[in-house]
């Protein structure tokens, strides 16, 4: 994990650390974020509501703050049935909007029960997920507005393939706020990989022409990188940044950024 993260240093503003994504067992997102901080790489620590009750979530948020973590992405969490521990029990005391409200409370110095924290309030920078390609436009607008009101300071979108829908979202929904929107760009490694994601990842639509383009390419991975770079360029014209997802190929992100004309990060 650290070796891959080091390849991103100086090329990205921060690195997402997932919290049991797809309900598959992985290292604690808080612990992994601290390891990145020790190597001067800024993490976005994802916190999902699936695996912790109210006490656990608050304790982890307080602990994360004490360890120097500031960026939190508030998520509901994928269902247990999607993962590798079918007998695990889901908690869901909260979902993403109420988690955002809780973080706002903790920042003000109060716990869930409106009791003052023994010391001072936290200083967490909370973000949320958004899906500009949601089938329900009214549902998308309503949920986005609720997350803004609950205290979201930035948004990371789900995988985007329809940039007309992203454009519509930016002009009609995101215009209510000045909070930055980061478009989700996914590295498709092959036609087979794209078909798998289209079939098994809920809410994701990958156009047939993209799958066909990958399948016809001599080097499917390289073609996937070209597609991702093209999408970064499109996103650059529409929103404030990108959330690049290159699962198990994160070391290719600097090259994708080069192909998209995005240089090193200046501090």
Does any domain span residue 214? no
Rounded to whole angstroms, the Cα distance separating 60 from 156 reads: 22
What is the span of the domain harbouring residue 166? 2-186+240-247
Does any domain span residue 61? yes
Rounded to whole angstroms, the Cα distance separating 144 from 173 reads: 8
pLDDT at residue 266 greater than cutoff 80: no
Does any domain span residue 21? yes
Rounded to whole angstroms, the Cα distance separating 163 from 161 reads: 6
> Tell me, what CATH number does 155's domain have?
3.20.20.220
pLDDT at residue 182 greater than cutoff 80: yes
The pLDDT confidence band at residue 265, using thresholds 50, 70 and 90, is confident
Nearest to 19, CA basis, from 105, 86, 62, 83 = 83
Does any domain span residue 57? yes
Does any domain span residue 212? no
Number of separate domains in the chain:
1
Does any domain span residue 14? yes
256 and 229 Cβ atoms separated by less than 8 Å: yes
CA atoms lying within 13 Å on the CB side of residue 237? 9
Does any domain span residue 261? no
pLDDT digits (tens, 9 = 90+) for 213-246: 999 999 999 999 999 999 999 999 999 999 999 9
pLDDT digits (tens, 9 = 90+) for 54-113: 999 999 999 999 999 999 999 999 999 989 999 999 999 999 999 999 999 999 999 999
- What is residue 202's predicted lDDT score, i.e. its pLDDT? 67
Which residues, including other chains, have CB under 8 Å from residue 266's CB and lie 6 or more apart? none
Does any domain span residue 201? no
pTM for the structure as a whole: 0.94
Which residues, including other chains, have CB under 8 Å from residue 195's CB and lie 6 or more apart? 206, 211
């Amino acid at each position: 994990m650290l070796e891959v993260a080091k390849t991103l240093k100086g090329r990205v503003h921060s690195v997402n650390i997932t919290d049991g994504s797809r309900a598959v067992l992985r290292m604690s997102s808080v612990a992994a974020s601290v390891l990145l901080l020790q190597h001067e790489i800024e993490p976005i620590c994802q916190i999902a509501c699936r695996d912790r009750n109210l006490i656990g979530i608050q304790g982890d948020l307080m602990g994360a703050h004490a360890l120097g973590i500031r960026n939190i992405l508030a998520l509901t969490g994928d269902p247990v049935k999607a993962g590798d521990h079918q007998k695990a029990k889901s908690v869901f005391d909260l979902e993403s909007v109420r988690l955002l409200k809780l973080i706002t409370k903790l920042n003000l110095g109060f716990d869930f029960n409106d009791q003052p924290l023994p010391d001072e309030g936290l200083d967490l920078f909370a973000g949320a997920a958004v899906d500009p390609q949601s089938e329900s436009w009214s549902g998308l607008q309503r949920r986005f507005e609720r997350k803004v009101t609950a205290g979201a300071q930035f948004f990371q979108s789900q995988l985007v393939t329809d940039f007309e829908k992203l454009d519509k979202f930016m002009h009609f929904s995101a215009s209510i706020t000045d909070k930055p929107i980061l478009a989700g760009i996914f590295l498709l490694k092959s036609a087979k990989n794209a078909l798998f994601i289209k079939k098994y990842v809920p809410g994701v639509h990958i156009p047939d022409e993209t799958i066909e383009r990958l399948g016809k390419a001599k080097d499917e991975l390289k073609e996937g990188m070209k597609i991702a770079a093209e999408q970064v360029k499109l996103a650059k014209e529409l929103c404030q940044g990108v959330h690049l997802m290159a699962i198990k190929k994160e070391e290719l992100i600097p090259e994708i950024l080069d192909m998209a004309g995005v240089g090193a990060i200046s501090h």
